[in-house]
Amino acid sequence: MGIPSGIIALGMFEFDILATDGRARAGVLHTPHGALNTPLFAPVGTQAAVKAVTPAQLVEVGTSLVLANTYHLYLRPGHAVVRDLGGLHAFMNWHGPILTDSGGYQVFSLGESNSIDDDGVTFRSHIDGSTHRFTPEHAMEIQQDLGADIIMAFDQCPEPYERETNERAMARTHAWAERCKAAHQCRDQALFGIVQGGAFSDLRAESARFIAALDLPGSAIGGLSVGESKEDLLAMTELVTDILPAVKPRYLMGVGSPAYLVHAVARGVDMFDCVLPTRLARHAAAMTRGGQLNMKKAAYAVDRQPVQPGCGCYCCANFSRAYIRHLCMARETMGATLLTMHNLTLLHELVAEMRAAIIKGEFGAWQREFAHNWPL
Q: Look at residue 64 and tell me if it is in a domain.
A: yes
The mean pLDDT value for 150-170 works out to 96
The chain-wide mean pLDDT, for the chain, equals: 94
Comparing C-alpha atoms, which of 224, 220, 311 is closest to residue 270? 220
Q: Is residue 247 part of a domain?
A: yes
Catalytic option among 21, 101, 145, 232: 101
In a domain, 236, yes or no: yes
Residue pair 69/106 in contact (Cβ under 8 Å)? The answer is yes
Residue 357, H or E segment = helix 333-360
Tell me whether residue 101 is one of the annotated catalytic residues: yes
Residue 179 lies in domain: 41-280+342-373
Whole-model pTM: value is 0.95
- In the set 21, 155, 232, 273, the catalytic residue is 273
273 part of the active site: yes
* Count of structural domains, the chain: 1
**Per-residue pLDDT tens over the stretch 180-195:** 999 999 999 999 999 9
Q: What is the mean pLDDT of residues 74-95?
A: 98
Q: What is the pLDDT of residue 144?
A: 97
Q: For residue 7, which of 356, 169, 265, 249 has the smallest C-alpha distance?
A: 249
With the CA atoms of 200, 201, 202 and 205 taken in that order, what torsion angle do they form, in degrees rounded to the nearest 10? 120
Task: Band the pLDDT of 6: cuts 50, 70, 90.
Answer: very low
pLDDT at position 12, please? 76
Q: How many CB atoms lie within 10 A of CB 116?
A: 17
Q: What is the CATH number of the domain that holds 95?
A: 3.20.20.105
Ramachandran category for residue 96: left, alpha or beta (phi over 0 → left; psi -120 to 50 → alpha): beta
Contact 24, 265 (CB under 8 A): yes
Region 88-96: mean pLDDT is: 98
Residues 6+ away with beta carbon under 8 Å from 189: 143, 144, 147, 148, 149, 150, 151
Residue 326 lies in a domain: no
Whether residue 272 is contained in a domain is answered as yes
The answer to the question of residue 76 being in a domain is yes
Q: Is residue 261 part of a domain?
A: yes
